[in-house]
Amino acid sequence: MNAESRRVTPSVPSRLAVPAGVLAAVAAAFAYVGTVDPNEPGHYPACPLLRYTGLYCPGCGGLRSAHAFVHGDLLAALHANALATLGYLGFAVLWTVWVVHAVRGQPLRIAPPPGLMWSLGALLLVFTVVRNLPFGGWLHP
């Protein structure tokens, strides 16, 4: 008997253990942010870039966005940090694809092309610059 024929295929519950653990961790983080309001001062540390330079980093407003998202206020979440809100939805899609692959017993291989990575980096940079310009006030948290 060779090694290939002796290989045991993991059961569906064991293949779903890691995606379930990741979902539990993300759900716990969102539950905490949904419970402890970031709009009230003193609960979370201030953004050091904003504190020392007055500039909004790409993450500024992310906790307020998550809080609004948990409470079902999608417009407030988008206003607090549009990219973070899109990131939450992107995570949900990616996690769902991961679970489908796990159920089917297929490994999930994420190999984004360099062009996509450069485009995402450029989007992040443009978002950061525009939200700090006078006409980008609508992107302020």
pLDDT tens, residue by residue, 63-101: 999 999 999 999 999 999 999 999 999 999 999 999 999
Q: What pLDDT is stored for residue 1 in this prediction?
A: 52
Q: How many CB atoms lie within 10 A of CB 12?
A: 11
Tens-place pLDDT, residues 102-122: 999 888 898 999 999 999 999
Which pTM was predicted? 0.83
The alpha helices in 11-137, defined as continuous H runs, are: 12-15, 17-35, 48-53, 62-70, 74-80, 82-104, 114-131
